[in-house]
Amino acid sequence: MLWLSTTVDGTLENLFKSFVKWGVLNRPCPGLFLVRLCLGRRHRLPFMTQHPSKTDGGASSLPASARKASARLLGSADWQKAMRATQAKAWLLALASIRLCAKAHPRDPWLALNMARTLVELDECSSAVTWAQITLDACPDDVLAQELMWHCLIKLQRYDEAADFVARHTADVDQALEKFNTLAYKQLLAGRADQSMAISMKALSLKMDHGPSHFLLGVSFMDRNELHEALECFQTANLMGADRYQLASDAHTVYLARQLLKWDIAEPGLVTLTERVRGMSDDDRMWSAVFASATLLSEPALQLKVARVSADLMAAQLPRLHPGEQPKVPRPAGAPLKVGFLSCDFHQHATAFLIMELFEYLQSQGMALYLYSHGRDDGSAERRRLQAASARFIDLEKVSDAEAAQRIADDQLDVLVDLKGFTHGSRIQIMAYRPAPLQVSYLGHPGTTGASFIDYFIGDEVVTPLDHQPFYAEKLALMPHCYQPNDRQRPLPRPMSRSEVGLPPDALVLCGFNQPYKISPEVFNVWCELLQSVPNAVLWLLDWVAGTVDHFKVEAARRGIAPERIITAPRLPLDRHLSRFALADIFLDSWPCNGHTTVSDALWAGVPVVTLCGETFASRVAASLLHATGLPELVSHDVPRYRDLVLSLAADPERRQALRERLSQARGHCPLFDSARYALDFQALLTRMVDRQEAGLPVAPLPIGA
């Protein structure tokens, strides 16, 4: 790499020019070498502050400009009216008077400044930009005009213009860093990783050892699925100090290190993450990697802390929606519910595979479904099927969060259901605007969102027993059998030979198709112990990330297992994947994050699943699915019982066959795969939520059938 050959005698500026020139093209992240180079230059800077002049939630607290207006303007009666209206915060009256003055003084910078400020108060930022620019043309250093322009460009999501504006008008390095970081973060929220990366590079060109900028650069790499580069950026951020993003950086580091099988980084990092969360106070507010933490932390109380600090910060930073033009009309007795579902996964995606048939049944039962999509249109059969199952399919991909929330509010729903939580591609900040009277978290996020703006979390008696309510910010609403829907129209397994997929014909095939981040050293140690105990067994792993199965082979060899006993499964289309799944003898689940859709696929394919049930949502999913298929005996609650259960099945082919036959029969009638029954139960649960609210009752836990 170019910069590794650069001598320390060279200036940091020259080194960074090399970094800027080659960092994105060749994509090696500015890594730990920068830490060694910059240890003596470390600074802790404030990060992601709000609009610097915004103290009371509006622009009315902007500081007065020291610039003086012309005597002619100051002496006019219209100007005096404008100033009195401004002091009274009567912004429409102020605007009318300033416009009268503008006829005589169209290019006066002081008038333009006050016009811009008044337009900002009236949320007319597009017009405010024009007037702020008039002031800046005459007075480039006017601080108030600069802040008004910055505020408007951010509000209008004109982030590229805002970045150029910061570069031209912000001389203070610390302020420039804050603003560049704000822009990088907002570009990430908008799904523009490349633009965010470019802005982070601008920030690092000002201060190459700025930890938050390294963190945001890492998130950009992660969104581009460049995981090695992302991990190195997070490590750099951790050593530099990621400030307000430290909790998120810790979690992303562990998550990616697990996904890339860098266990020497992941396991110490998990200790650091756990200790940091334990040390947080209930009043802390910071950005966190909520999904990553939900899959890594084994204590539900810690997961709640992580989620709450981020959700509360998000809610505090968003303004309220404008009231709709028409108040919500009360729903007539017996009228169908009007329910919205918010997701970016309404295309060929695991969530769509699970939920499509539920939507079709709900539509046939008379529910008015509004599907709000903020993801891509892949033109797939799944996309078309989802569109056909909805009363309205609304594309919000190019719409801002505030606009999206306002559109949803204008639709006057009874319930809005978020299918993402804090998972990849989430726009849960839309929910933070409170666009619906009842808001629900469902299916996508494996645990509490920590959000005060989410009323209910849909679970079941196994995955979210009511005595776990203290670990959820939302009220638990329980489905009768299982929280997870399934699609009986998914492909059935077709005959396939082991030779077609590289499996030994007579081996006992232990299948572990969960993603690598779910497979900790503890889990892999147990799996290798099983291989040692069953000499004719092989371990079949899905190659989720290129090269990870090769890493597993190395780890297996360190544990005394021949590498050839680790078999690679490439990723395949769903129909072929389900067919090859049926070739496995036992599915080995992971903990503390179980398989979710993967376990459903295994059961659909007729493969017995052995799981270890823990205390968190993510560690109880497989137990819920097994109960719903009538196989609770395959649920263990500690490692010794997990190991013994697998060994007993490995030694008993007749029992394995009996389990396969039970699963084959279960496809037609068990609760997990009975989509019609599930849809009726789901509709009844939503109706109970709405009935309580319309009766004036508070949000409360909803046990089964109560």
**Ranges of each domain in the chain:** 73-281, 318-488+676-706, 498-673
Residues 83-94 have a mean pLDDT of: 94
pLDDT in tens, 483-497: 999 999 999 999 999
With H, G, I as helix, E, B as strand and everything else as coil, classify residue 459: strand
The first and second tokens of residue 657, run together, are 């066959």
Least confident of 59-73, 312-326, 335-349: 59-73
Torsion of CA 154, 160, 161, 163, to 10 degrees: 80
pLDDT above 80 (res 43): no
H helix runs in 39-76, sequence order: 71-74
pLDDT of residue 119: 97
The first and second tokens of residue 621, run together, are 């999913």
> Is the separation of the CB atoms in 128 and 150 below 8 Å?
no
pLDDT in tens, 117-169: 999 999 999 999 999 999 999 999 999 999 999 999 999 989 999 999 999 99
H helix runs in 61-108, sequence order: 71-74, 77-87, 91-104
pLDDT above 90 (res 46): no
pLDDT of residue 69: 63
H helix runs in 605-697, sequence order: 621-628, 639-650, 653-669, 675-694
DSSP readout, 562-583? -GGGEEEE----HHHHHHHHTT
> Is the separation of the CB atoms in 433 and 410 below 8 Å?
no
Residues 444-464 have a mean pLDDT of: 97
Task: Kindly indicate the confidence band of residue 668, based on its pLDDT and cuts at 50, 70 and 90.
Answer: confident
Q: Which residues partner with 458 through β-bridges?
A: 477
Order of strands across the sheet that contains 635-636: 566-569, 537-542, 508-512, 586-588, 609-612, 635-636
Location of structure tokens 């400030």? 243
Task: Kindly indicate the confidence band of residue 400, based on its pLDDT and cuts at 50, 70 and 90.
Answer: confident
pLDDT above 90 (res 705): no
> Is CATH 3.40.50.11380 correct for 318-488+676-706?
yes
pLDDT of residue 332: 77
User: Quick check: do 73-281 and 318-488+676-706 share a fold?
Assistant: no
pLDDT of residue 190: 84
Q: Which CATH class is domain 73-281?
A: mainly alpha
> Is CATH 2.40.50.100 correct for 498-673?
no
Between 395 and 54, the more confident residue is: 395
> Is the separation of the CB atoms in 447 and 618 below 8 Å?
yes
Location of structure tokens 């082919």? 653
pLDDT above 70 (res 58): no
CA 28/CA 623 separation, integer angstroms:
42
pLDDT above 90 (res 112): yes
Closest CA to 462 of 452, 450, 476: 476
pLDDT of residue 317: 78
Tell me which amino acid residue 432 is: A
Helix 246-259 and helix 227-240, axial crossing angle in degrees, nearest 10: 140
Whether residue 592 has a cis bond before it, omega within 30° of 0: yes
pLDDT in tens, 255-280: 999 999 999 999 999 999 999 999 99
Q: What is the mean pLDDT of the chain?
A: 89
With H, G, I as helix, E, B as strand and everything else as coil, classify residue 78: helix
The model scores a pTM over 0.95: no
Q: Which helix (H) or strand (E) holds 186?
A: helix 173-189
Closest CA to 603 of 679, 447, 490, 500: 490
pLDDT above 80 (res 655): yes
